[in-house]
Amino acid sequence: MKEFDRIPVTKVQRASKFLSAGAKIGTNYLKHYGKQLVTGETDRDQLHADNAKDIYNSLSELKGGALKVAQMLSMDKNLLPTAYQQKFAMAQYSAPPLSYPLVVKTFQKYFGKSPDKIFETFTTKAVNAASMGQVHQATLKGKKLAVKIQYPGVGDSVKSDLAMVKPIALTMFKLNPVEYNEFIQEVESRMLEETDYTLELKRSMDLSEKSKGVKNILFPTYYPEYSSARVLTMDWLEGKPLGQALTEEIPQEARNTLGQAMWDFYHFQMHTLRAVHADPHPGNFIITPDYKLGIIDFGCVKEIPEDFYNIYFQLLDSKILTDAAVQKKVFSDLRFVYPEDTPKEKEFFTGIFVKLVELLSRPFRSEQFDFADNAYFEELFSFGEKLSTMKELRDSKKARGVSDAVYINRTYFGLYTILHDLKATIKTAY
């Protein structure tokens, strides 16, 4: 895989890269419509593939917040055409890495010496590379270690990156500008936290210690003495990344065990810790040879405010589907429906969110749930696709929902998707 020996860090450099990507997209559209005029033929899939490739290649050079947004968008099967989903999903764990000299430069800055002077062995090439940083393998005192190094300038460019991503998100993917402006502040807050490895180290040690009683879950040991604001060192967990393991044969019993472990882990965090690992994509999990689930990244954690928790989880109460008074209060508190909405708007948005809540809470309304159920996911994705093209939602002058829900919703979406890919049947009571 191609390595980058530099990364644009200034606003001007990064803006130039965005403009370059925009020019390539414009050329793709010209070719697309030119062909249509000359031959009468049109190939929308090819246009999407060309745009996805050019956007991803440009974002791969930028790293950081821009590439992280692409990774997040790839998880939404309703928002993007397949070409974008497939290309952007590479940002989860197989983005082009930075070259070794840049890694050495980071170590010199924070430890005053190169990694080969700290560890007994240290791979000069990254073994994994994602949107915010890359991982190298090292050994020390008989232990195999994973050393995560943050890309240069990532923390300083989050705000400007998100500002530059906005026109693409609004124009190409037709996102509602009111909702984008409302929720991007929450995204920015989580991303800024994700660039602070000192905070990640603290949270990783704290959450893994508190969650160690969850059955069939493993966590690495972390090493503060070999960590810093931009370097994080932990044990190397033996096994395969979840994404790779899913392409191979896994016994059904093991699928159920892994799915149950993930379900229990997330709901222990939600309901006991009130702080949740909010980045459930395959690159953040390891499947061990004896089919245990390794959790290897606590970079993105959503702490759940008490008042929000008390409102949000009323959505799992069956009364929400039948009791008009409960429904009205909860939907108002979560800003699905506003007091100043017209009667027609109230009826419309209430109907939409009742259906959405019914779909998303269905796994909770039985003793166990089969996440391999294609009919359920086809219904879920079909409704999601309907929502993504619904004019009333796109043109709404108000954000439908509260910002605290952004990462909780994202967590459930990622969790359901992984459990579906695992084809796991699990006990869903919490």
pLDDT tens for 43-92 read 556 655 666 665 656 666 655 556 666 555 554 544 444 544 544 454 44
What's the average model confidence in pLDDT over 97-124? Answer: 93
What's the average model confidence in pLDDT over 163-184? Answer: 70
What was the pLDDT predicted at 39? 43
According to DSSP, the β-strands at 275-277 and 301-303 are antiparallel
Q: What is the pLDDT of residues 15-43, one digit of tens each?
A: 565 555 554 544 444 443 444 444 444 55
Distances (CA, A) of 18 to 5, 60, 84: 19, 11, 17
Q: What is the pLDDT of residues 367-398, one digit of tens each?
A: 999 999 999 999 988 888 788 778 888 788 88
Structure-derived torsion over alpha carbons of residues 223, 226, 231, 236, reported in degrees to the nearest 10: -50
Identify the weakest region by mean pLDDT among 82-86, 103-107, 202-206, 294-298: 82-86
% pLDDT > 90, the chain? 51
What was the pLDDT predicted at 422? 96
What was the pLDDT predicted at 356? 92
Is 305 in contact with 404 (CB distance < 8 Å)? yes
Q: Which residues pair with 134 in a beta bridge?
A: 129, 149
What was the pLDDT predicted at 388? 75
What was the pLDDT predicted at 307? 96
More confident residue, 108 or 86: 108
What was the pLDDT predicted at 385? 78
Answer yes or no: is pLDDT of 415 > 70: yes
What was the pLDDT predicted at 112? 97
What's the average model confidence in pLDDT over 182-209? Answer: 89
Q: What is the pLDDT of residues 210-257, one digit of tens each?
A: 999 999 999 999 999 999 999 999 999 999 999 889 989 999 999 999
What was the pLDDT predicted at 323? 92
Answer yes or no: is pLDDT of 128 > 60: yes
What was the pLDDT predicted at 10? 54
What was the pLDDT predicted at 120? 97
| Average per-residue pLDDT for the chain | 82
What was the pLDDT predicted at 282? 86
Identify the weakest region by mean pLDDT among 80-89, 177-186, 306-315, 350-359: 80-89
- Token duo for residue 325: 């008074």
- Token duo for residue 269: 């965090």
